[in-house]
Chain A
C-alpha cells in the first residue's frame, strides 16, 4: 500500500473512532433531554450512529494529500464543517431523531455537531503537536550528529 494511502486509512479510522465516541455521547445527552421516558432508542440507532460516523469521517477527503494553499485549506475546513452539518441534520430528519419544527431540538443538534467537531479537531491538533515535538527532538539529534561529523 502506498505511504499516502496508508496514512489516509489510519487517519480515517482514527477520525471514525473519535466521531463514533462523540456521537454516542451527544446521543446520550440528546436522548436524556428530548426523548426521556419515550421509546426512542431501539437497536437501529446503533447502526445509524456507526453509519453516520463513517459518512462524517469521509469528510477527511476535503483535505487533499496534495499541496494546496493555506487559504484553500481554510476554505476546505469550512466546507468540511458544512458537510458534517448537512450529513448529521439530514440523518436526524431522515431517521426521525428530531422534530424539524422544534427549534430547540435543531439548536441542540447544531451545538452537538459543533462540540464534536471542535473536540475531534483539538485531539487531531494535539496529535500533530506531539508529532512536531518528536520531529524537533530528532532534528536536534540530527544537527548534533552533523556537527560532530564535521568536527571530526
Chain B
C-alpha cells in the first residue's frame, strides 16, 4: 500500500483520503480507528486475552511497580510501563497527569482545585485523580489555553 503525505496551508482542515478498489473489513477497521483516534488495548484476564477499546479506558495508574488500567468499573493489570503507554497514546485524549497516572481527558467530568496548587480530575465514574503541578502547564496547553 502506498502512503502519500501532503503539506497543507495553515488553517486548512486535515484530511485523509482512502483510495481503494474494495472496502474490505480490515480497511473499514483501520478507518474506524483513524476516525476515533483510538486503538485496542490488549490485557490478560484470568489467562484469557481481552481487547479493550482505548476509548473505554478511564485512566492508567502505576502502583508498586505495577501498572493498572481502569475502566468504568473493572481494573486490569497491564504489562507496559507508564512512559510506554504515554508514547503509545501521544496526540490522543490520554494525558500524563502525574508521575503515577495517565488519564483519558474524554472521561474527565471536571477539574477542581486541590491542596497546594494542584488540581483534581473528577472522572465520569466518580473517581478522583490528582493532577500534579508539574503537569498543569501541559494540561493547559493540551486544552488550548
3 cross-chain pairs, A with B, having the tightest CB-CB distances, nearest first? A138-B143, A73-B116, A128-B113
Closest A residue to B138 by CB, please name it.
A3
Given the complex, which residues of A lie within 8 Å of B140, measured CB to CB? 135, 138
Starting from the known contacts A65-B134, A129-B113, A138-B144, 16 additional A-B residue pairs (CB-CB under 8 Å) come to A11-B117, A63-B116, A63-B117, A67-B98, A70-B130, A128-B113, A128-B117, A132-B112, A135-B140, A138-B145, A141-B143, A141-B144, A142-B144, A149-B35, A149-B37, A152-B35
Interface residue? B36 (CB, 8 A): yes
Q: Count the A-B residue pairs with Cβ separation under 8 angstroms: how many?
A: 67
Secondary structure dominating the interface of A: helix
Assembled-state Cα–Cα distance A151/B133 (Å) = 34
Assembled-state Cα–Cα distance A131/B112 (Å) = 9
| Nearest Cβ on chain B to A61's Cβ, whole angstroms | 12
| Nearest Cβ on chain B to A139's Cβ, whole angstroms | 6
Interface residue? B111 (CB, 8 A): yes
Given the complex, which residues of A lie within 8 Å of B116, measured CB to CB? 63, 68, 73, 76-77
Total interface residues on A, CB under 8 Å, equals 31
CB atoms of B117 and A139 under 8 A apart: no
If A4-B134, A142-B105 touch, whether A134 touches B145 (CB-CB below 8 Å) is yes
Assembled-state Cα–Cα distance A73/B37 (Å) = 38
Given the complex, which residues of A lie within 8 Å of B99, measured CB to CB? 67
